[in-house]
């Protein structure tokens, strides 16, 4: 789905893709790494929502930023 959005997007107005994922979501992390690689774009990661913001043991959320595309 993300790859299709990239194909359809108007790059005059979109330069970056951002998403948050948990560290244990390996499938999503790998997908975004592949999208960055296929688009020859940089992938930056940093903790966006620390686990202290969540109740019940939810993992931290990492912000992934791909681009510029």
pLDDT tens digits, one per residue of 14-33: 789 999 999 999 999 999 99
In the prediction, which pLDDT does 29 show? Answer: 96
Q: How confident is the model at residue 41 (pLDDT cuts 50, 70, 90)?
A: very high
Give start and end residues of each alpha helix (H) in 1-69: 2-8, 26-38
The overall average pLDDT reported for the chain is 89
Domain ranges across the chain:
2-67
- Architecture, CATH, for domain 2-67: 3-Layer(aba) Sandwich (3.40)
Q: What radius of gyration do the chain's Cα atoms show?
A: 13
Q: Which residues pair with 20 in a beta bridge?
A: 63
Is pLDDT above 90 for 38?
no
As a residue count, the chain comes to 69
């Amino acid at each position: 789905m993300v790859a299709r959005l990239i194909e359809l997007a108007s790059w005059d107005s979109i330069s970056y893709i951002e998403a948050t994922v948990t560290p244990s979501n390996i499938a999503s992390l790998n997908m975004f790494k592949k999208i960055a690689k296929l688009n020859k774009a940089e992938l930056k990661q940093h903790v966006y929502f620390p686990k202290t913001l969540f109740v019940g043991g939810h993992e931290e959320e990492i912000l992934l930023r791909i681009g510029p595309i």
